[in-house]
Structure 1
């Protein structure tokens, strides 16, 4: 590269970094503005034949690949949502799929696990970036990281990472709402509600990744992170319609992101986070007042290679974590269990491969007496596993 061009390139990158740091600092102050305390809707204690399910009894009972859309070479960032008890589908799975991550053909697709067939349907595009851009009145360059939620009325919402110019650091969070009455996959449609108003700089550089924490009032807490110049995790407070009513910064650190919320009590939650520093550990922060104030805790004694984690509570002190348990690479994906969210033990290895393999971005959901795990394989497709309680000798 020509020296003049190289110097210009470096100065542009430095300028963007400095701008990001200044913006992150300003947002860091803003995100500490008080937010109303919230009470999590604690999960019902799962039981089989009247006996509470213990995480250590979970064993794999089924697994496989999720069907890929025709011609798709990339698939990533799973989000699982449970359907209504009388729906023909038990689960709906959303992810982004196309020719490559950040590619112009990437769309948000979905598949459903049908109760009758005990199998996934063929996937279908549910968010097309060109059509969505026309509805919004401005272009969308990239789509990614869908997060699904069914509200108190049973309506489906999607919170999707969308960019105009720039890369993921220039992303915004687009709120989409179900259009029409049907949630059958062949009829499921979404329309834009709004770009979430999260910052004074055109709402730039906020992303979603992990699923929401349901609240007692019918709303939810949605974990997000800011990414330009520094990584700042935050929690959004949304009402029963999915509208933003508050925000709080989760960690004072500027190198942790993609928080996964784990409720230990109605107002006592943990945020387990990916850490891009050289510590190679799962980071953690705690709130004891329903998300209003957070404090950092010592890192968990769990290796992590700067990779996304997923958490789930079965209630009664039975908690689960899916994560990459190595300091470098993503060729292994494990499930761990804990009674307090701080001290963890391996439950089982979900996937193990070679150094060049990748099993990443897990999503967890408890439905129909089983733990469902969805995750990315080599950034090319999604895979799933179903774990159920098995009596151990």
Structure 2
């Protein structure tokens, strides 16, 4: 009798395991089916349509520190966006700030460079974890990197790293959107749309860092990376309204992250990446079919001390890259230029200091005929610099 009871118990446990496994498989298949597949070939849009002249003559014509919120000692991971026509600002900067990285009080901060005053506005908190959690319907433990994009209607979109239980490897990318185009940037300006649907594991283990690349149809490609044990880059596609269209893995490597995109032509793009290996170099992949498939390339001859890079292609053959050039530290930050995307020449040393000084996580954009950069200054503030070509006499 007891043998029969034991057998029945074992059968019951086994059946529950089988049912549980079937349910999990069904959920995975359903989740994957809900996520759009990589869309068709896309075409990159140039920042400057016509070919630019030689970049060697470019000069620094502005620099400083972006204002910080009062009583906020730490800042990191800035993102820049050129503002649409009709805005009172040339561009906007977003970053995260608080007591320290990963602190509960970290919020997303914004400041704008005013067209009339030629000054940065006072820093404003625009996203906090409590409001985000209330809109999502579940808890948010901490906030991290923000990345900003302006859609075809002039609305600003924010893609923000947010964690629940666990560290950064358990983070989601939460998509927020400005309620009204050209409205003031404040805590009420942004609504949470959703976490991006990137993983069957509750959409976790994906993070964002580098700026999106504009497309000719008004949409964009957002480079992100997976980070749970292994690390690899992923390209996300969005349409002109900011609706998610699909995703594709960009590399078979498992030690690269934080890709930045550089179009070589309409459909031929490079992605340069942070390398986590000791004595790492800036790593590279390419697509020749508008983002449908990607191939690993040999490493560049640029040292990478496990640090984020930021690139911008403003016209064919006119590319810029902000990167840490010290082999083992983030004490030196350079701005380099290239016509090929493979060979790079130093254009300007942005910052340099002695250990433990850190100048890192750069951002690069084009606005009002200038090349703008921002970066973390000693984990305490966000610094900025602006470059222009000298005016020639008639």
Common fold: TM-score over 0.5 = yes
Alignment of 1:357-372 (within 5 A): 357-372=357-372
Q: Which whole-Å CA distance do the structure 1 matches of 2:374 and 2:333 have between them? A: 11
What's 2:96 paired with?
96
* 1:181 to partner: Cα distance: 4.5
TM-score (norm 2): 0.88
- Contact preservation (8 Å) 2:154, 2:182: no
What's 1:382 paired with?
382
What's 2:156 paired with?
156
What's 1:81 paired with?
81
Change (3 A) 1:203 1:187: closer
* 1:387 to partner: Cα distance: 0.9
Change (3 A) 1:195 1:53: same
- Contact preservation (8 Å) 1:35, 1:248: no
Matched residue SS, 1:337: strand
Q: Which whole-Å CA distance do the structure 2 matches of 1:257 and 1:293 have between them? A: 17
Deviation sequence 1:194-240 (CA, Å, 0-9, x none): 11110111011100000101111111100000000000111001112
Asked if 1:318 is matched to 2:322, the reply is no
Deviation sequence 1:312-359 (CA, Å, 0-9, x none): 112031110000011111010001110110111111111111121100
- Contact preservation (8 Å) 1:46, 1:53: no
RMSD: 1.8
- Say which one has the larger Rg: 2
Asked if 1:229 is matched to 2:229, the reply is yes
- Contact preservation (8 Å) 2:87, 2:182: no
Q: Which whole-Å CA distance do the structure 1 matches of 2:188 and 2:59 have between them? A: 33
Matched residue SS, 2:228: coil
Alignment of 1:10-89 (within 5 A): 35-45=39-49, 52-89=52-89
What's 2:21 paired with?
none
* 1:180 to partner: Cα distance: 3.4
What's 1:177 paired with?
177
Deviation sequence 1:268-321 (CA, Å, 0-9, x none): 100000000124200000000011110011000111101000001120311100
* 1:184 to partner: Cα distance: 2.4
Range 132-141 or range 104-113, more displaced: 132-141
Q: Which whole-Å CA distance do the structure 2 matches of 1:219 and 1:391 have between them? A: 34
* 1:126 to partner: Cα distance: 0.5
What's 2:298 paired with?
298
What's 1:200 paired with?
200
Q: Which whole-Å CA distance do the structure 2 matches of 1:46 and 1:84 have between them? A: 20
Asked if 1:250 is matched to 2:250, the reply is yes
Structure 1 unaligned runs (5+)? Answer: 1-25
Number of aligned positions between the proteins: 359
Change (3 A) 1:121 1:46: farther
* 1:390 to partner: Cα distance: 2.9
Change (3 A) 1:281 1:181: closer
TM-score (norm 1): 0.88
Q: Which whole-Å CA distance do the structure 1 matches of 2:188 and 2:67 have between them? A: 18
* 1:35 to partner: Cα distance: 4.0
* 1:266 to partner: Cα distance: 0.7
Change (3 A) 1:35 1:254: farther
Matched residue SS, 2:131: helix
- Contact preservation (8 Å) 2:151, 2:240: yes
Q: Which whole-Å CA distance do the structure 2 matches of 1:201 and 1:187 have between them? A: 30
- Contact preservation (8 Å) 1:55, 1:319: no
Matched residue SS, 1:132: helix
